[in-house]
Amino acid sequence: MGNIFDAREILAFPNGINSSDTLLAGVHFNLTALEHWNYTLYSNGTLSNGSRCLLTFAPYTPTLLYPNGTFINSTSCYSPVNPIGERAKIGIVFAVFYAVVLFFMMINLRKHGRLYLPSEKRFRPIGRRWQWYWGIMVCVAAFISLLMNVDVDRYYLPELPIVLTSFFWYLLQMCTMALVWEAVRHWGSWMERQYIDPNPFVLSEEGIRYRFELLIPLVFYLFLWLNFFLIVPRSWGSIEKQRSPDQITDIATPSATNSRAKAAAFLLLASWIVTVVSLRHSIKHYLPRNRGILNRIVGILTNIPLRFVVLLFLSLAMIAYQTLCAWEFQWSVLNVDGNRLPIFLGGYTPPLLILLVQCLYGYIAPNEDLELMRQRRVRGLEQDRDLGIVHKPAWWRRVHGDYIPDGESMRDRIARNVREVGGGRATARGVQQAMANRDAETENVEMGPISRTTTAASSNHDSSRAMPGGSSSPASQFETYVGKSDRRRSERTMAVAASMLFPGQGGLTPEERRVELVQEGPPPYTDAEASANRGRGRQSSTQGASARSDSAGTLVSLSGQPQQVRSMLDI
């Protein structure tokens, strides 16, 4: 905290009531103690010994000095005792603008960073959010730097506030350049995503194009971080030495305009050139190409979005001002008494305009997932139109029962369908009853031909005796079903009802059904043929194993001798 003042600014202590007394702003101090502790009086109203600096003018004059060098009610030279100046007022106005832009930046981050489609390995969600992250960092850095301008004006002697203002201003420049880069890079990624969405295999993940897009971000951030390491690790205490004209000339100006600051400005320009190259690469690969040098130049100029034209121009103006600060200290943000117009016009206006353009773009542009879904719907409609597929209107599903009410889950839909068909909750008793019905139905199907034939014959015989002329009633053509299958019972009932309502189209009798089956194929297998085959099988088994059996049955009587097989013809 020591001061280095020019010898011409040193003043002699005023005389007091005696040789060991001095009078400062109407207060008597022990001159012997002041000289013992090596205090010096300067023309700007400060008292310093190289380690401490005190104000001596009213109302900040100390009231008492002890022999050990301790002052009572003293005020440090590095205190905000001055009123707010022009730099502080303009800085507050700019800080309010940056605070409002920060609010819209967070809204755009939520809007464009939201996912409506599954995340893809080729297009990470973080890629679309980085430009908004950098925008938030720009707002924060600018807000801190501008608020520190208040203390730059209020501090009696320059100290920490000018360092904080300059430090965050440099961070503001870096974050703004990163914002422009991420906007351009992500636009190229968005163009690639739209390009490959109809056909994911149209561009392979190898080759010169893929390697270029993989390495160019590393090159950009290499230049940006080199700019950071040339600016930040420096002797910031030299910027504070602006307490006299000689300090400004000998210490502050050489430190603010040294070779590191000049090299950092050129590195920021190199990062801007990398951004332009990336934009050219995206236009070349993902937009329609033009043949000929002149047509290519015209195509590039017409395919560049207007947003990037504005962003690149404003970022180039920002880099130009940082380069100017590296050569001319009088117009630099690091100068406490620098010219206010170039400080705010070149130092803070371009980043603010870049943020406003980004906010306007974020408000107009839709979410990328939603836009991709819309493009897929449009392509689907075009493909259906080419194939001649006509989709039913939206009210069709509501009318025909395919409509799913809002908030209805699949479980609720299944339960609603079960209630419509008359089902109920599954129980152990219901499961056992269903199994019993299934077994009975299987048994009835196996024994159906015999029972139906017998019942139909007896029914026809009885009806022929009951009705004159041998005619039978329609109901007599069907036997009474006594099984447990509700489905079969309902079928029989419907068949009887149909035969009653339409006599000319009644069902076939079992004999007529048998004749129809014979016409379609071989005669059906009857019980009489089965008994004859079993009898021939028993007779052949008693005559000897050498006789070949003509029976078609597969069963052998248990009372007869076992069959002896001599050749494959006996099997």
Long-range contacts of 113-116 (CB under 8 A, 24+ apart): 114/367, 114/369, 115/369, 116/367, 116/369, 116/370, 116/373
Per the document, the length of the chain is 571
Q: H/E/C letters for each residue in 378-445? A: HHHHHHHHHHCCCCCCCHHHHHCCCCCCCCCCHHHHHHHHHHHCCCCCCCHHHHHHHHHHHHHHHHHH
Boundaries of every domain in the chain: 7-72, 86-365
* CA nearest neighbour of 454 among 509, 491, 506, 498: 509
Distance of CA 521 to the CA centre of its chain: 68
- The Cα–Cα gap between 38 and 41 comes to 10
- At 23, the pLDDT band (50, 70, 90 cuts) reads confident
Omega before residue 393 within 30° of 0, cis = no
- Residue 10 dihedral angles phi and psi, to the nearest 5°: -80, 135
- Residue 11 dihedral angles phi and psi, to the nearest 5°: -115, 155
Whether the pLDDT of residue 39 is over 80: the answer is yes
Supply the pLDDT for residue 434: 61
Supply the pLDDT for residue 564: 57
The CATH architecture assigned to 86-365 reads: Up-down Bundle (1.20)
pLDDT digits (tens, 9 = 90+) for 507-520: 556 676 566 555 54
Supply the pLDDT for residue 567: 53
Cβ partners under 8 Å of residue 9, min gap 6: 42, 43, 44, 244
- The Cα–Cα gap between 107 and 114 comes to 11
Is 78 in contact with 1 (CB distance < 8 Å)?
yes
* CA nearest neighbour of 248 among 167, 166, 165, 338: 338
Amino acid at 342: P
Query: pTM for the whole thing?
Result: 0.67
Q: In terms of DSSP H, where are the helices of 58-124?
A: 86-113
SS3 assignment, position 22: strand
Supply the pLDDT for residue 345: 94
Supply the pLDDT for residue 284: 86
- At 531, the pLDDT band (50, 70, 90 cuts) reads low
Percent of the chain with pLDDT over 70: 72
Supply the pLDDT for residue 1: 38
pLDDT digits (tens, 9 = 90+) for 333-381: 999 988 899 999 999 999 999 999 999 999 999 999 999 999 999 999 8
* CA nearest neighbour of 93 among 291, 433, 344, 295: 344
Supply the pLDDT for residue 8: 40
Question: What is residue 155's DSSP assignment?
Answer: B
SS3 assignment, position 335: coil
Whether the pLDDT of residue 410 is over 70: the answer is yes
- Please give the residue that has the higher pLDDT: either 230 or 489: 230
* CA nearest neighbour of 340 among 493, 181, 149: 149
- Please give the residue that has the higher pLDDT: either 295 or 268: 268
User: With left for phi above 0 and alpha for psi between -120 and 50, is residue 407 left, alpha or beta?
Assistant: left
Whether the pLDDT of residue 459 is over 50: the answer is no
Angle between helices 306-325 and 160-196 (to 10 degrees): 150
pLDDT digits (tens, 9 = 90+) for 126-180: 889 999 999 999 999 999 999 999 999 999 999 999 999 999 999 999 999 999 9
Averaged pLDDT of the chain: 79
- The Cα–Cα gap between 492 and 500 comes to 12
The maximal CA–CA distance of the chain, rounded, in angstroms, is 165
Q: H/E/C letters for each residue in 192-204? A: HHHHHCCCCCCCC
- The Cα–Cα gap between 116 and 68 comes to 73
Cβ partners under 8 Å of residue 571, min gap 6: 565
